[in-house]
Amino acid sequence: TTLVANLGIALARMGKDVTVIDANLTTPNLGLHLGVPLSPITIHDVLKGKANIAQAIYRHESGLKVIPAGIALKDLKGVDARDLSTAILDLLGNTEIVLIDAAAGLGREALAAVEASDEMLLITNPDLPAVTDALKSAKLAEQMGTNVTGIVINRKSGKRHEMTREEILSMLDGYPLIGEISEDEEVKNALSKRNPVVN
């Protein structure tokens, strides 16, 4: 979520027309990161057929377009994550780049986000379970016809218990390592202000 919010703003600042979608339907946080926690119309409303996707778009001060998810338990009632692909079709031709913030793991809503995407960038932490899960996700994405662009190692602190870059690369089975992001206290400060680091 942190990467999607910050990458979205960075791309918007470069003049790109970018829309970010919170597809983590059960535990959404993208709106919190971008300062739009309570929105009258959300991706949940779109999935329920109560609104079209254009009505769920909010504009961040950076120019980034945000489609948040509802944070109340009642928002989950009547939502089927499998409808995500159809719901976002109306964005085609109306935005240059769509970034989907997917749930972690291999659950139904995560798979719906993978299915709705042309490409997938996997974000993982430098520990064995996380890297193993990322590799499983990459294999599953390929089976679903979604291209795996690469993997980003997030929250690197350089502590002894972390996997080394070489150990991670040896597990990636040929998937490219796109980048490494260090642990940074400024991320927590930015979240408390509901304002991404790059803003």
Residues 64, 65, 71, 72: is their CA dihedral positive or negative? Answer: positive
CB 173 within 8 A of CB 14: no
User: Please, which pLDDT band fits residue 67 given cuts at 50, 70 and 90?
Assistant: very high
Query: How far lies 120's CA from each of 39, 77, 98, 175, in Å?
Result: 27, 28, 11, 11
With 0-12 / 13-18 / 19 or more C-beta atoms within 10 angstroms meaning exposed / middle / buried, residue 176 is exposed
Tell me the per-residue pLDDT of 106-160, one tens digit each, with 9 for 90 and over: 888 899 999 999 999 999 999 999 999 999 999 999 999 999 999 999 999 888 8
**Which pLDDT band holds residue 79 (cuts at 50, 70, 90)?**
confident
Q: What is the pLDDT of residue 129?
A: 93
Q: How far apart are CA 113 and CA 1, in angstroms?
A: 14
Give me the sheet containing 147-156, strands edge to edge.
Answer: 119-124, 147-156, 177-182
For the chain, give percent helix, strand, coil, nearest 5. 40, 20, 40
pLDDT at 113: 93
Contact 119, 147 (CB under 8 A): yes
| Torsion over CA: 34, 38, 85, 125 (sign) | positive
DSSP alpha helices (H): ranges in 34-175? 43-47, 84-87, 108-115, 128-143, 165-171
- Residue 113 to residues 60, 62, 145, Cα–Cα distance (Å): 22, 25, 12
Provide the greatest CA pair distance for the chain.
Answer: 51
Per-residue model confidence (pLDDT) at position 66: 96
Tokens coding 44: 């949940």
Cα distance between residue 99 and residue 120, in whole Å: 9
Query: What local confidence, expressed as pLDDT, does residue 4 receive?
Result: 94
What integer best gives the mean pLDDT of the chain?
A: 90
